[in-house]
A = this chain, B = another copy of it.
Amino acid sequence: MLTDNQISDFSELLGKDNICIVMHKSPDGDTIGSSFALFYALKHMEKNVELVCSDEIPEHFRFISDGQKDFDMLFEPDTVVSVDIASETLFGNKYGYLASRVDYAIDHHFSNTFYAKKTILSSSISSAGELIFELFSAANIEIDSYIAEKLYIAISFDSGCFRFSNTSPDTHRAAAELLKFGFDASSINVKLFDSTSLAQLKLESEVLNSVKQFKNNQISMVTVRYSQIERLGVNENELGGLTSITRRIAGTVVGITVREKSDGEIKISLRSQQESPLPDFDVSKVAGKFGGGGHIRAAGLSMRCSVEEAERKIIEAVLEEWERLYDNPGE
């Protein structure tokens, strides 16, 4: 449920013009889908509106951006709106300077740093897409099939097609309303979740074959080296699925994916799954120790060191939190 403040902040936004909508760097299905939905809703209101993103839209997400790859600023905005951006660093390089002049941040990350003048934040909601759906409903903004499809994409992407624990009855209700517009949701979900090139599938199987497990196989760590990506010919843009690959190993409570990028940076993704009766393992807490962030069950960070050192550091931090939580809970 939205608060009155959130609704009035959004109404205020709707009164503005010359608006620039900012997506986060390394754009994903939620930031692209919900930004496009907001963009077209504002267009329909005859606003002057533009979209920007510091990074290129990866090829497999261009069905969301209608083929658009790069975004240039078309005019100097009076109002800046960020969508799905938790902190200033996530604005990226090209449009990083906008971070200090955001008027409205529309976000669902509980790690949001309140960098904006006004923050419309609902951290219990599945996605920026679901939040914008609720804001549109509250503001009686009529949507069409095009906007409905963009919102559906955003929601489906961030809820893992309704399978993650951020999926609530309201998430399904939003999907029910949106699906009424009759777009082909099944082929969207194939594009988002089921479409893997053979090279990717081969990389996945190599990665899974080298899994390291700890704490009675409840912690699984996989490592992807840049040499593997290169040898198999996998596009670096196609690597999104690897961040949650450890979910697929039965019994995994905490999953760690260590990935070496072409420039030597090490990206680490952390995932957790609730295994009752265990209390939740908050991966954003571990990520935070290394300057990263995210949600309780999905977080990320990056390091500049060797693959081996990154593995050692992250497993140490995860084990420390594990032991604090589960092995010596009284301490």
Contacts and interface: CB of A to CB of B under 8 A. Distances in A.
A101 interface: no
Q: List the number of copies, as a whole number.
A: 2
Nearest to A175: B172
A208 B204 CA distance: 11
8 contacts: A163-B193, A169-B175, A186-B273, A187-B275, A194-B248, A201-B248, A201-B249, A202-B208
B187 A167 contact: no
Interface string A273-311: 111100000000000000000000000000000000000
A245 to B, nearest CB: 9
What is the interface residue range for chain A against chain B?
A: 35 or more
Contacts of A167: 179, 185-186
A190 interface: yes
A2 interface: no
Interface in A159-204: 161-165, 167-173, 175-177, 179-180, 184-187, 189-190, 193-198, 201-202, 204
Contact of A184 (B169, B170, B171, B274): B274
A206 B276 CA distance: 33
A251 B162 CA distance: 24
Specify the main secondary structure of chain A where it touches its partner. helix
Interface of A: 161-165, 167-173, 175-177, 179-180, 184-187, 189-190, 193-198, 201-202, 204-206, 208-209, 211, 247-251, 273-276
Given A165-B184, A184-B276, A196-B248, 10 more contacts: A161-B162, A162-B162, A165-B186, A167-B179, A169-B175, A169-B177, A171-B176, A172-B179, A194-B248, A205-B205
Given A161-B161, A172-B175, A196 B274 contact: no
A167 B169 CA distance: 16
Given A186-B165, A187-B273, A189-B163, A201 B194 contact: no
A179 B126 CA distance: 14
Given A201-B205, A205-B202, A249 B196 contact: yes
A179 B168 contact: yes
A176 B186 contact: no
A162 B202 CA distance: 27
Contacts of A176: 169-173, 176
A180 B211 CA distance: 37
A13 to B, nearest CB: 28
A205 to B, nearest CB: 3
Contact of A247 (B175, B180, B190, B250): B190
Contacts of A164: 186
Contact of A250 (B185, B197, B204, B248): B197
Contact of A196 (B180, B193, B250): B250
Nearest to A274: B187
